[in-house]
Amino acid sequence: MSLSAGPFGIDHLLSDAREQLERLTPQQAFAAQRDGGLIVDIRPQSDRLADGEIPGALTVERLVLEWRLDPGGPHRLAGLRTDLPVILVCNEGYASSLAAAQAQDLGLTRATDLDGGFRAWKSAGLPVHHPP
């Protein structure tokens, strides 16, 4: 994140966050997941129920995300490693950019997000699971 003094508006924070990231297209995210990368869906449960989920993605509500993504923390996701690609997904790719930059700050150097979010994934025709 920016080292200069704030306060900053959200557009500035989002721009700073995205400067740290190599954002992935839906096809790149799909390939990264296939190759062992971890997709983390941070959308609210209501969105996941209404629109579906990415098969194999872990769901972590945004409220507790930093605790679950801290590789040295006691509440981290099982199997989380600093060398593992972690792709954050929100609905449209805004909140996930901020979250991915924070994940990098926590030590997940390969964290990034899905450009366009879940909507882009679904529009690309990639697999979507609809929970019962």
Residue 24, C-beta contacts closer than 8 angstroms, at least 6 positions apart: 32, 87, 112, 113, 114, 115
The pLDDT, as a whole number, for residue 2 is: 47
Alpha-carbon distances of 5 from 2, 9, 79, 83, 85, rounded to whole Å: 8, 12, 36, 31, 31
Average pLDDT, the chain: 93
What tokens appear for 57 in the block? 């993605």
Predicted confidence (pLDDT) at residue 59 exceeds the cutoff of 90 = yes
DSSP 26: H
In eight-state DSSP terms, residue 77 is: P
Q: CA 50 to CA 101: how far, in whole Å?
A: 27
- Residues 115 and 100: their CA atoms lie apart, in Å, by 11
Summarize the confidence of residues 42-66 as an average pLDDT: 95
Q: Assign 112 to helix, strand or coil.
A: strand
Residue 1: pLDDT band with limits 50, 70, 90: very low
